[in-house]
Amino acid sequence: MQKTDNMGATLNNTEDILLTIPKNEVGFLRSLAKKMGWTTRKQKERSIDKSLKEAHCNMVYPVKDMNNKDIVGQILNSDV
């Protein structure tokens, strides 16, 4: 016996798709999805992806002394 959703489509007949769209278009996409009976959800950004974006945008800061426990102080007082 196959499970069905509220529109009668079998669960084996669905596909998850990840879209990257401008923030100002999210409302339109959600209203379209609602009208079509689709399910939408926002995916949280993984911390590794966030870190890679920050590194790509030069948002990383050097630490002069790794043994010093005041890493935040070193970053705030750096010349970068």
Model confidence pTM above 0.75: no
* Residue 6: pLDDT band with limits 50, 70, 90: low
49-63 confidence digits (pLDDT tens): 888 888 888 777 666
Per-residue model confidence (pLDDT) at position 52: 87
Q: Which helix (H) or strand (E) holds 39?
A: none
| HSE, side-chain direction, 13 A CA sphere, residue 48 | 0
- Reply yes or no on whether the pLDDT at 76 is more than 50: yes
What proportions of the chain, in percent to the nearest 5, are helix, strand and coil? 40, 0, 55
Neighbour count for residue 30 (Cβ, 10 Å): 13
- Reply yes or no on whether the pLDDT at 70 is more than 80: no
